[in-house]
Structure 1
Amino acid sequence: MKKVLLGLILLTPFFSFCQINVADSTVQVITYWDKHEKMTYDIATSKATVKGNDTTYTQKVKFKVDIEVLDSTATSYTIQWKFKDYASLLSDESAEIQANLYNGLTIEFTTDELGTFNKLLNWKEIKEHNERVFSELKGKTNSQEVLVKMLRQKFSSQQAIEEHSIKEVQYFHSFHGVGMKEGEVVEENVSRDTFIGKSVQSDITLELTEIDYENSTYIIKYWEDFEGEGVVNLIGSMFPNYKEKIENSIGDDMSLNDFMGANMHESGWPLYLVYERTLSFNENHMYFEQCTISLEE
């Protein structure tokens, strides 16, 4: 999503060191962070399946992350995230595994001077952390052993770790680098390449909905609606042996929609951010996931 946003928006040049320009009601999302500056955030994630009037949560967790700016230069930031206090709100067998994977996990990465995510620095250390957790879980129940095997594959390479371990980091930095005017709406149709070589069309909307000059904050929102037939073809290509069954079961009205909104402070720290994905197979069957990131009070 980050590359798409930056590809859509020409960053507006500012001649003062602030994100909010009162003169022309424009905002540029930039990080103005000091070395060793620290913040703590509360994060909550949930996944649910809706069939008819029944909603079944398959995941509902919360945890905290301590964020520290390890280094700050004219062209980049080095940032550290430390995860802690992971707790599952559901009584499921995977909770212990997930808790151990998150608690004590440290992620270090770089951004450019605007705060745009650049590079994960310590994927090898993350892999070692995960391997220690998996080793400690040997001898558990058979079902947990199956989960461990699946998760081990999920975190087995640099690419896999970058895809699965830093989703919250990617959400956190999604809007950094974007420049817009209050009330401006940007719309674009784009073609996305996927990890299996297939492309999917989507319609993107980006809007700066509100500037609060008194509190130096603003609200920015992003929507992405994926083209239905392309999503069907994508799922079918991932599971070619079940392509016909999948197409028959999900129907022509299948849709995939993403939404992200953030209340940002002009310093570049989000006060509150939410990401939502809705996958509708048909009018009676829907998959929903959500992640919220809020500054600790």
Structure 2
Amino acid sequence: MKKNYWILFLLTAIQPVVTSAQTPHNSTKINFIAYWAKGDVYRFRVTKTKKKWEKDQLIKDQKNAYIARFEVIDSTEKGYKIKWSYKNNLSKQLSIPQELRDKFTKYKFLDVIYTTNEYGEFQGIENWREISKMMEEMMQEIIKVAGAKLSTDANIQLKKIMTPFLVMYKSKQGLEQQVFKELAFIHSPFGAQYNVVDSVQYEDQLPNLFGGAPIKADASLYFQSVDTAQQRCIMVQQLKLNPKDAMQMMTNLLKKMGLTADKAKNILKNAQIDIRDHCKMEFYYYPGIPIKITSQRDAIVHMQDFQGRQRDIVTIELITD
């Protein structure tokens, strides 16, 4: 398996969220609080675009879209219970041969049941064990399909490379922060009071799903526009990962893939890693519904004889018709 496969896999494994920052009392402020009721239903079009370049040559340009249903199935003084339902086209997304697609039909439909607190802040997926089991079965099928035409040695290497990701999908945190990124984007602004006048500069800490200390990042947050009559706003978050922390995460991942400390050090010698995020979020801050969220991650990795970059874009749009 080529090196760029696991390198570019890594670049999407860290999930930023908007930091909840309190603002001074004398500033113009917006409170992000969910005002939902049991039975509320919203539909969203979710589009995921992935592009990869190797030495400035485009090697992958993939787009996947689906319609998701957001339903409030319970509302109490302590919070909300949400059902996020969708159908994915896994066979198309993974370019699975026609004759093997029947194996993946059972993974098409998914209901994610999760809870928030009374403000709308994400708390956790309730049926994560059921989803984890399904994800593990799906990944094992993918490994089997991908490895069918590989040599024995290449097949063993493939399984080693995929092991950290299988472990990640088995954890509640891994599912919440890596598999269902859409939920993080939708709920990240809630439970905070924001200054709409000044740009906020801060240091964020992102969870390291491969183990080890959190990854530091320099971040900024500002409002592009606010319409108090429609209770509508556009906020922008920009983020740059700390190169030293990103390098340490890469080192830990290589070790988990079975490489010795010396081999990992040799691969990462003189390496350069640059990962930046730009997230634009348009919301009705009352009652707390996203209109359009666009998150773009640009990642550049140079190491040994490999030069690659990747762009991941996630767009979540409210369907109003």
TM-score (norm 2): 0.73
The match for 1:186 is 200
The match for 1:20 is none
Distance 1:84 1:3, change over 3 A: closer
Between stretches 100-109 and 269-278, larger displacement belongs to 100-109
The amino acid of 2:276's aligned partner reads N
The match for 2:314 is 291
Match of 2:184 among 157, 161, 170: 170
Aligned pairs for 1:206-225 within 5 A: 206-225=221-240
User: Gaps spanning 5+ residues in structure 2: where?
Assistant: 1-14
Q: Report the aligned-residue RMSD.
A: 3.7
The amino acid of 2:249's aligned partner reads L
The amino acid of 1:256's aligned partner reads I
The whole-number CA distance in structure 2 between the counterparts of 1:4 and 1:264 is 14
Displacement after TM superposition at 1:219 (Å): 0.4
Given that 1:83 and 1:102 are in contact with CA atoms closer than 8 Å, whether structure 2 keeps it comes out as no
Distance 1:124 1:285, change over 3 A: closer
The whole-number CA distance in structure 2 between the counterparts of 1:133 and 1:237 is 25
Displacement after TM superposition at 1:215 (Å): 3.3
Q: Identity over aligned residues, as a percent?
A: 20
CA deviation profile, 1:114-170 (whole Å, cap 9, x unmatched) = 110012111133235446767999996754997999576554444443344322211
The whole-number CA distance in structure 2 between the counterparts of 1:173 and 1:208 is 17
Is the counterpart of residue 108 in structure 1 residue 124 in structure 2?
no
Distance 1:136 1:79, change over 3 A: same
Given that 2:301 and 2:309 are in contact with CA atoms closer than 8 Å, whether structure 1 keeps it comes out as yes
Given that 1:12 and 1:180 are in contact with CA atoms closer than 8 Å, whether structure 2 keeps it comes out as no
Match of 2:289 among 269, 274, 288: 269
Distance 1:142 1:109, change over 3 A: same
The whole-number CA distance in structure 2 between the counterparts of 1:98 and 1:276 is 32
The amino acid of 2:203's aligned partner reads N
The whole-number CA distance in structure 2 between the counterparts of 1:131 and 1:239 is 21
Is the counterpart of residue 10 in structure 1 residue 15 in structure 2?
no
The match for 1:60 is 63
The whole-number CA distance in structure 1 between the counterparts of 2:195 and 2:119 is 17
CA deviation profile, 1:2-47 (whole Å, cap 9, x unmatched) = 77712xx11689xxxxxxxxx9742122211111100111111122
The amino acid of 1:276's aligned partner reads Q
The match for 1:227 is 242
Which structure has the highest helix share of the two? 2
Could you say what secondary structure the match of 2:85 adopts? strand
The whole-number CA distance in structure 1 between the counterparts of 2:61 and 2:95 is 9
The whole-number CA distance in structure 1 between the counterparts of 2:104 and 2:70 is 19
Could you say what secondary structure the match of 1:221 adopts? strand
Given that 2:17 and 2:188 are in contact with CA atoms closer than 8 Å, whether structure 1 keeps it comes out as no
Given that 1:11 and 1:28 are in contact with CA atoms closer than 8 Å, whether structure 2 keeps it comes out as no
The whole-number CA distance in structure 2 between the counterparts of 1:174 and 1:144 is 42
Match of 1:35 among 38, 41, 45: 38
Distance 1:143 1:219, change over 3 A: farther
Aligned pairs for 1:236-247 within 5 A: 236-240=251-255, 241=260, 242-247=263-268
Displacement after TM superposition at 1:210 (Å): 0.8
The match for 2:7 is none
The whole-number CA distance in structure 2 between the counterparts of 1:200 and 1:135 is 29
Corresponding pairs, count: 284
Aligned pairs for 1:243-262 within 5 A: 243-248=264-269, 250-251=271-272, 254-262=273-281
The whole-number CA distance in structure 1 between the counterparts of 2:39 and 2:248 is 47
Distance 1:34 1:118, change over 3 A: same
Given that 1:209 and 1:220 are in contact with CA atoms closer than 8 Å, whether structure 2 keeps it comes out as yes
User: Gaps spanning 5+ residues in structure 1: where?
Assistant: 14-22
The match for 1:204 is 219
Distance 1:159 1:114, change over 3 A: closer
Could you say what secondary structure the match of 2:119 adopts? coil
The match for 1:72 is 75
Between stretches 147-156 and 32-41, larger displacement belongs to 147-156
The whole-number CA distance in structure 2 between the counterparts of 1:197 and 1:190 is 16
Greater RCO, 1 or 2 (C-alpha within 8 Å, sep 6+): 2
Displacement after TM superposition at 1:93 (Å): 2.2
Displacement after TM superposition at 1:190 (Å): 4.2
The whole-number CA distance in structure 1 between the counterparts of 2:131 and 2:56 is 40
The whole-number CA distance in structure 1 between the counterparts of 2:142 and 2:94 is 18
